[in-house]
Amino acid sequence: MSCEAPALDPVFLQLGSLSIYWYGVIIASGVFLALWMATREADRLGLKKDYIVDLVMFAIPIAIISARFYYVAFEWDNYVGEPWWKIFAVWEGGIAIHGALIGSVLTAIVYTRVKKLSFWQIADIMAPSLLVGQAIGRWGNFMNQEAHGGPISEAAYQNFHQYLPDFIMNQMCIDGTMYHPTFLYESVWNILGLILLLVLRRNSIRRGELFLSYVIWYSIGRYFIEGMRTDSLYVSEALDLRAAQLISILLVIGSVLLMVYRRKRGLADHTYQGKQVKNK
């Protein structure tokens, strides 16, 4: 569908030659809100807030590095012959959230072992916060007019998209074509997931299963939304196999199998809800 609308200014604040972008402000806001939520939940469970803060401080830089390496691995052909430092040039764009999640989880595993904490308890505390951070962070993509879907048909616009706020659809008008606001779809999906996790958390869900429920919920939504995007990383373009879809399938299967395994082995006997949960 053709359109005409001015784009929003991606710069939040200009200080001389220094530009502070909305993307960074939005991402930082998501991180701080997620951290605040996690520390409150840790306090409710009788766990030191410092554990959560320290973990996040370690996880953020590692997550950025792993998100970049994940992206470069699937786009390697574009870096062959380029200067070696291009691999680390995050400021030029190119990170992947699955890479960030992998780095964060590995950091949490190492951190909890060193501190002699329960990884599953920490993961359960962090799960709702991860969805909050992701839901907010996607609006950074909105400001940059990126991570959008394909062009919207006239019929789709008349049946659905015309009812969305004008400021959203105007920002999805790029070079005269209106695109699917997949950032919005994923943000809404994450908010619904947050509500689900908060409900599960109040019903004495077994330890570790809140985090695994997060993985399953996010992966299901990401699988379908990824199929709409135009900037996907591919495992095989000939097979139309996108990396995020493959990883999402594996995560859903792995999480379900892990839930079943932990229950059968008696590794998920401790309930999450309430302060009675002890480190193990």
With cut-offs at 50, 70 and 90, classify the pLDDT of residue 273: low
- Of 64-73, 143-152, 184-193, 229-238, give the lowest mean pLDDT range: 229-238
For 85-100, the pLDDT digits (tens) are: 888 887 777 888 999 9
Domain borders along the chain are: 11-264
The residue type of 272 is Y
- Bridge-partner residues for 236, per DSSP? 241
For 111-128, the pLDDT digits (tens) are: 999 999 999 999 999 999
Local structure of 21: helix, strand or coil: strand
CA distance 224 to 240: 14
CA distance 185 to 75: 25
The dihedral of CA 185, 250, 99, 40: what is its sign? positive
